[in-house]
Amino acid sequence: MNNQTSLVPLKMLLFSFHGANTMVVSFLPLLLTYRGLSGQEIGFILAIGPTISIIAQPFWGFMSDKYQTMQKILIITAIGLVVSSAIFFQMTTFLLIFIFAIFFYFFQSSIGPLADSLAQRRAHMLGIPFGSIRTWGSIGFAINALLVGELIDWVGVQYLVIPYVFMASIVLIVSFRLADVEVKAKPVQLGDVRILLKNHRLLLYLLMLLLVTITHRANDNYIGLYISELGGRDSLVGWSWFMGVVSEALVFAFAGKWFRKFHPLIFMVGAALIYATRWFLYGYFTEPLGIVAFQFMHGLSFGVFYLAAFQYVSRLIPEKLQATGHLLFTTVFFGISGIVASLGGGYVLDTFGGTTLYYILGIMATTGSVLIILYHAAFSKY
């Protein structure tokens, strides 16, 4: 099997997992609304995911490093994903949704970070850009956002379980075909994780990210409800994500051509400012089609910010702790940020409305860009 052929299962895994993930990000809030949950209850359910991920992601990352295998861990989590999603998406009461959300997110929250870490290592081994592999996740997300949006417009959001379990099953099937990555180091021990927790530069970096990543997660959670509130159809939510993730895929695909020209923190500053501009525009334009039109900025904000942040954090982590360190990074990027965004964003949306929410997000992203500049000035040699 040549190098490019060996990447096919990994690309298919990214395509299918993120294709399934678009249903969680884009349409789960609409499904919960259909089930009769209030805005506050929806915010509480959405907060379960990032809360569980704080435990689940470091756990699965530690197991991957300890036993020096990503493939077997991905197989285990994929089995859990198929079983738990088949139950979770069919629950109709708040209590049952809450209980099975815990099981669902315990498996779901770690597959993406583990796959990204595997892609990062494979890209490094083969001397190819990480983005050229990761872009397949964006393609899967975009295509399924469009197709599933049209599907639920036709049959109803209550049948979201069918396309989700279908895509989750593909994740499981292709995980058996993955080429694992061998790390020539001693298996990680629990005490070694303290190395990460004692890395003050790493912890400061992760803390600094929060102001920007909270804004990203708030938009993830509430753009669908915002579009619906403005009078947009469910399919328009799918189109908004399609527009955004197509631009993200283009950024991932071509990042290797320009990404090494500047320090990653420089790209992060630029992306944070694009985030700020994007949120201010969302707050100003209250037509659903306007929100969809500005979604092309998703690639220039999230795509650039995530790639640069992931690349930089890899410099701060010892080789044998890469999977654990990457999952710690993802726990902050999507987990802690997601908790604050779900609870705080839901409160602001219900109390003050979507316009105020996005203006607040714009201010936060602007402040975050300033903090990144200060961090870069302090640690410019890294």
pLDDT of res. 105: 95
Least confident span in 16-20, 27-31, 192-196, 264-268: 192-196
pLDDT of res. 5: 53
Tens of pLDDT, residue by residue over 331-371, are 788 888 999 999 999 889 888 988 999 999 999 999 999 99
Q: Quick one: pLDDT band at residue 186, thresholds 50, 70, 90?
A: low
pLDDT of res. 91: 95
User: Which ranges of the chain would DSSP assign to H, the alpha helix?
Assistant: 3-6, 8-22, 28-34, 39-67, 71-88, 94-126, 130-155, 161-175, 193-197, 200-229, 234-258, 264-284, 288-293, 297-298, 304-315, 322-330, 337-352, 354-378
Tens of pLDDT, residue by residue over 203-225, are 899 999 999 999 999 999 999 88
pLDDT of res. 84: 97
Give the total residue count for the chain.
382
Is pLDDT larger for residue 39 or for residue 112? 112
Tens of pLDDT, residue by residue over 51-107, are 998 888 778 888 887 888 889 999 999 999 999 999 999 999 999 999 999 999 999
Q: Look at residue 260 and tell me whether its pLDDT is greater than 50.
A: yes
% the chain with pLDDT above 70? 94
Q: Which residue, among 337, 344, 379, has the nearest Cα to 109 in the 3D structure?
A: 337
The CA distance from 255 to 303, in Å, is 9
The CA distance from 79 to 173, in Å, is 10
Q: Please give the model's pTM, rounded to 2 decimal places.
A: 0.79
Q: Which domains does the chain have, with CATH numbers?
A: 3-378 (1.20.1250.20)
pLDDT of res. 382: 57
pLDDT of res. 235: 84
Q: Quick one: pLDDT band at residue 190, thresholds 50, 70, 90?
A: low
Longest dimension (CA), the chain: 57
Q: Look at residue 257 and tell me whether its pLDDT is greater than 80.
A: no
Q: Look at residue 1 and tell me whether its pLDDT is greater than 60.
A: no
Q: Quick one: pLDDT band at residue 183, thresholds 50, 70, 90?
A: low
Q: Quick one: pLDDT band at residue 381, thresholds 50, 70, 90?
A: low
Measure Cα distances from 300 to 72, 245, 254, 314 in Å: 34, 10, 12, 21
